[in-house]
């Protein structure tokens, strides 16, 4: 007896897959969700432990995660193991591919930053002539952002900045510490805007607690963990997808599920790998190309607030955070003359408080301990997040040799930054140092070294949207041009990313795609 | 130091024995066990560092002696706060280096050898044996201002790496945390641990 025919099979339980499931099941559509990793029980699978009780005193097992700088010994079990899940790259151009295979995906530990894109991104080509526009506008996306922010419980402050559209926020009424206010004032004098962080709130802000429980409550969602998708299968007679073949993570048994519609939300590069291995949706030849992300320059500046030294900080001087949205090359949308020697721009997270890392002090022994004591809670630092230009040559392909632990061909990644990103990073460093000086802070260190591509965990663009099937993989509804019942809802659909963290936009796109799918299914078009 | 701690622990255990034996003698069931049969136990336990001597895994004897001296200089005991020696940071780093990638191992091997080479050149002794002024002279590269990029000079690169490792190995040790967390709750060294996937 054949397995049941599902309305929709969804790959991935993170932000995009779970949002699709949430939206479709609300509309009465039966969904089967496959997650490559295990389900888990928060009360059993997490525990408070002391660092000295860990085998490696917090260092972690040496060499276990050579490309996951976010991993530590406490969180080691979260990240996808590179031996089981290998990928390749030219050693000259390392790529840090960071993955989580557990129910909830990367939303288990995401940074929660939730920014909208604007038409400076959706219509970027109209603005500066580079690359391509998205096939959707901000006006089309706004209603979906409006629905996603309350679901994620995003706090923020209304600012009326055209490059950073306001949202439906839990209003952030918090004040600023004196040191933060000084930095904001210095920025304002240079015409640089600032705002409060916009972040999802709650003890856990994951698809696992915010989306999947409601979807399950409809009775329309079935979740299947430990199911590693191998291939999107196609009915040769119709040319349409008819399901997914997958392998059970633990037993390695092979299975197949049947579905009317296939939705891929496995994360940008896993989805692309699945399509490449399936030899689908690539009549354009751009599948896997235009890989980009945001570059980070971590702790671009590290400064101290001198009045806080030696424990003499008056109340209210230290603490707090803020955000500089992109402020370069804006001008009037569509008519801007670049004001920098690079295109587009960067954003900045800044925070006050804490003790600077010992590496900044050229001491050791008692002198170092005295320096650290004198600088307790004096720190001010800022991290740059810059937009990376989508370029055809940054791409992924299937490695001809390497396979994962389940025999599925692995990905080969070729990506490097361009001169545009290097110039932007240097400008960010100089600007932030100038602001710190103007705010009366003392500099301990500054640099413009970008993390390797991929490390921001914001990989995007390898199944890009577009109106033209010859130059894009997806149409404006996240539907593949080539196979009408295959949708891609994760960050691989992005055409331009900007400097904003992408998760909120990914959820808004997934919700919008789900609405379209539901309507098409109701009309019998899918 | 490890021997002193072991002796202290034995004395602590012995001091509690007579009272417990006297109580149990009054009731045969209590004599069988002082535990509570209907409760699930949560037994206090300790990591091995404080009660056992770690076996050397990576360094040669003279390298380990240099590493111990370096540890003591980077983070000495200050007042009541234990230093790297009490935390057995050198012994711990010796272990972790034995499992580290080759480039890390090479950095430490050449760095420790360079400390000994310079010490012999200056005083005809190993780094562990030279006087304080000479040892400080050898560690002068640690006084250079911080730069993001690794220094070109191998000894400076090694010393910066070792400084960070020694600090981490010490402040993450049970010996350091137990003392410092009494003064500062933020130094408890606890966090959420995710169990391995089955």
Which ipTM did the prediction report? Answer: 0.91
Averaged pLDDT of chain B: 86
In-domain check, residue B193: no
- Based on the fold, state whether residues B9 and B60 are members of the same structural domain: no
- A66 part of contact set with chain B, CB < 8 Å: yes
- Based on the fold, state whether residues B101 and B153 are members of the same structural domain: yes
- Based on the fold, state whether residues B12 and B93 are members of the same structural domain: no
Put simply, the answer to whether B172 touches A447 (Cβ < 8 Å) is no
Averaged pLDDT of chain A: 96
> Å from A366 to nearest chain B CA?
7
- Based on the fold, state whether residues B81 and B165 are members of the same structural domain: yes
If one counts every other C-beta atom within 10 angstroms of the C-beta of residue B23, the result is 12
The domain total for chain B is: 2
Put simply, the answer to whether A62 touches B197 (Cβ < 8 Å) is no
- B79 part of contact set with chain A, CB < 8 Å: no
Put simply, the answer to whether A365 touches B75 (Cβ < 8 Å) is yes
Position B19 scores a pLDDT of 52
> What is the rounded CA–CA span in Å between residue A344 and residue A498?
8
> What is the rounded CA–CA span in Å between residue B47 and residue B51?
8
- Based on the fold, state whether residues B123 and B35 are members of the same structural domain: no
- Asked whether residue A318 carries a pLDDT value surpassing 80, the answer given is yes
> What is the rounded CA–CA span in Å between residue A133 and residue B54?
61
Residue A17 to residues A11, A38, A79, A104, A388: CA-CA distances in angstroms? 6, 16, 19, 9, 25
- A62 part of contact set with chain B, CB < 8 Å: yes
- Asked whether residue A349 carries a pLDDT value surpassing 90, the answer given is yes
Cβ neighbours of A45 in B, within 8 Å:
194-195
Cβ neighbours of A444 in B, within 8 Å:
146
Position B26 scores a pLDDT of 67
> What is the rounded CA–CA span in Å between residue B53 and residue B45?
17
Q: Which tens digit of pLDDT belongs to each residue from A94-140? A: 999 999 999 999 999 999 999 999 999 999 999 999 999 999 999 99
Residue bearing tokens 């389940």: A406
Q: CA nearest A38 in B: which residue?
A: B197
- Based on the fold, state whether residues B7 and B101 are members of the same structural domain: no
- Based on the fold, state whether residues B132 and B34 are members of the same structural domain: no
Distance of CA B131 to the CA centre of its chain: 23
A51-A52-A53-A57 Cα dihedral, nearest 10 degrees:
80
- Asked whether residue A274 carries a pLDDT value surpassing 90, the answer given is yes
> Å from B109 to nearest chain A CA?
17
> What is the rounded CA–CA span in Å between residue A37 and residue A19?
18
- Asked whether residue B25 carries a pLDDT value surpassing 60, the answer given is no
A282 Cβ contact list (under 8 Å, min separation 6) = A275, A276, A288, A473, A482
- B85 part of contact set with chain A, CB < 8 Å: no
Put simply, the answer to whether A444 touches B172 (Cβ < 8 Å) is no
- Based on the fold, state whether residues B106 and B123 are members of the same structural domain: yes
Task: Copy the structure tokens of residue A443.
Answer: 């500099």
- Based on the fold, state whether residues B151 and B98 are members of the same structural domain: yes
- B188 part of contact set with chain A, CB < 8 Å: yes
What's the CATH superfamily of A5-522? FAD/NAD(P)-binding domain (3.50.50.60)
- A63 part of contact set with chain B, CB < 8 Å: yes
Mean pLDDT of B24-32: 63
Of A46, A51, A366, the CB nearest to B76: A366
In-domain check, residue B195: no
- B13 part of contact set with chain A, CB < 8 Å: no
A195 Cβ contact list (under 8 Å, min separation 6) = A156, A157, A159, A161, A164, A322, A323, A325
Lowest mean pLDDT among A255-269, A361-375, B26-40: B26-40
> What is the rounded CA–CA span in Å between residue A482 and residue A279?
11
- Based on the fold, state whether residues B21 and B99 are members of the same structural domain: no
- A368 part of contact set with chain B, CB < 8 Å: yes
> What is the rounded CA–CA span in Å between residue A76 and residue A66?
12
Domain that holds residue B104: 55-188
In-domain check, residue B196: no
Q: Answer for the pair B49, B174: CB distance below 8 angstroms, yes or no.
A: yes
Residue ranges of domains in chain A:
5-522
- Asked whether residue B11 carries a pLDDT value surpassing 50, the answer given is no
- Based on the fold, state whether residues B87 and B135 are members of the same structural domain: yes
In-domain check, residue B172: yes
pLDDT confidence tier of residue B192, bands split at 50, 70 and 90: very high
- SS3 state of residue B86: coil
- Based on the fold, state whether residues B66 and B122 are members of the same structural domain: yes
């Amino acid at each position: 007896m054949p397995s049941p025919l599902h309305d929709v099979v969804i790959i991935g339980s993170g932000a995009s897959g779970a949002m699709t499931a949430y939206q479709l099941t609300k509309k009465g559509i039966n969904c089967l969700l496959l997650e490559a990793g295990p389900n888990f029980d928060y009360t059993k699978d997490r525990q408070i432990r002391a660092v000295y009780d860990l085998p490696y005193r917090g260092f972690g097992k040496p060499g276990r995660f050579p490309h996951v700088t976010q991993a530590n010994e406490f969180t080691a079990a979260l990240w996808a193991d590179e031996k089981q899940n290998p990928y390749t790259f030219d050693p000259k151009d390392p790529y840090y591919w960071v993955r989580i295979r557990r129910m909830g995906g990367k939303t288990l530990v995401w940074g929660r930053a939730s920014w909208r894109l604007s038409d400076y991104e959706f219509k970027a080509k109209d603005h500066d002539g580079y690359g391509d526009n998205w096939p959707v506008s901000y006006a089309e996306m706004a209603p979906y952002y409006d629905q996603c922010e309350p679901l994620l419980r995003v706090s923020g402050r209304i600012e009326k900045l055209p490059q950073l559209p306001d949202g439906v926020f839990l209003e952030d009424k918090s004040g600023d510490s004196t040191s933060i206010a000084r930095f904001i004032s210095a920025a304002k004098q240079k015409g640089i805007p600032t705002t409060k962080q916009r972040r999802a709130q709650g003890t856990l802000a994951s698809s696992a607690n915010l989306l999947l429980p409601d979807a399950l409550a409809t009775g329309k969602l079935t979740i299947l963990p430990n199911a590693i998708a191998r291939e999107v299968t196609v009915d040769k007679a119709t040319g349409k997808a008819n399901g997914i073949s997958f392998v059970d993570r633990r037993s390695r048994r092979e299975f197949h599920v049947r579905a009317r519609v296939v939705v891929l939300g496995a994360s940008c590069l896993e989805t692309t790998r699945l399509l490449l291995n399936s030899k689908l949706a690539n009549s354009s030849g751009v599948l896997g190309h235009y890989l980009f992300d945001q570059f980070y320059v971590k702790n671009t500046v590290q400064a101290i607030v001198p009045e806080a030294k030696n424990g003499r900080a008056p109340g209210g001087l230290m603490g707090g955070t803020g955000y500089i949205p992109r402020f370069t090359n804006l001008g009037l949308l569509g008519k801007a003359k670049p004001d920098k020697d690079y295109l587009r721009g960067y954003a900045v997270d800044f925070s006050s408080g804490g003790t600077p890392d010992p590496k900044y002090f050229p001491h050791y022994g008692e002198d170092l301990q005295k320096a650290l004591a004198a600088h307790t809670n004096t720190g001010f630092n800022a991290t740059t997040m810059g937009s990376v230009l989508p370029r055809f040559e940054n791409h992924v392909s299937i490695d001809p040799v390497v396979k994962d632990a389940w025999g599925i061909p692995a990905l080969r990644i070729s990506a490097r930054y361009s001169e545009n990103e290097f110039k932007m990073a240097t400008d960010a460093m100089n600007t932030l140092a100038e602001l710190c000086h103007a705010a009366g802070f003392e500099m301990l260190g500054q640099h413009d070294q970008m993390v390797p591509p991929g490390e921001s965990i914001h990989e995007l663009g390898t199944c890009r949207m577009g109106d033209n099937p010859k130059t894009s993989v997806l149409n404006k509804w996240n539907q593949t041009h080539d196979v009408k019942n295959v949708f891609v809802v994760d960050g691989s659909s992005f055409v331009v990313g900007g400097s904003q963290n992408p998760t909120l936009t990914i959820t808004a796109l997934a919700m919008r795609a789900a609405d379209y799918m539901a309507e098409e299914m109701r009309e019998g078009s899918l | 130091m490890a021997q002193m701690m072991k002796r202290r622990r034995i004395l602590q255990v012995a001091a509690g024995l007579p009272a417990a034996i006297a109580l149990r003698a009054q009731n045969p069931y209590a004599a069988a066990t002082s535990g509570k049969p209907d409760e699930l136990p949560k037994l206090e336990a300790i990591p091995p560092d404080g009660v056992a001597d770690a076996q050397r895994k990576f360094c040669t004897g003279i390298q380990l002696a240099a590493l111990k001296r370096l540890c003591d200089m980077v983070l000495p005991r200050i007042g009541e706060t234990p230093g790297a020696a009490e935390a057995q940071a050198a012994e711990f780093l010796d272990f972790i280096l034995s499992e580290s990638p080759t480039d890390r191992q090479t950095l430490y091997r050449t760095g420790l050898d360079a400390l000994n080479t310079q010490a012999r050149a200056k005083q005809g002794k190993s780094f562990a044996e030279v006087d304080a002024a000479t040892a400080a002279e050898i560690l002068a590269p640690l006084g250079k201002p911080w730069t993001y990029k690794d220094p070109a000079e191998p000894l400076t690169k090694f010393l910066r790496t070792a400084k960070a490792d020694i600090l981490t190995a010490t402040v993450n040790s049970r010996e350091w945390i137990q003392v410092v967390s009494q003064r500062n709750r933020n130094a408890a060294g606890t966090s959420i641990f995710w169990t391995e996937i089955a």
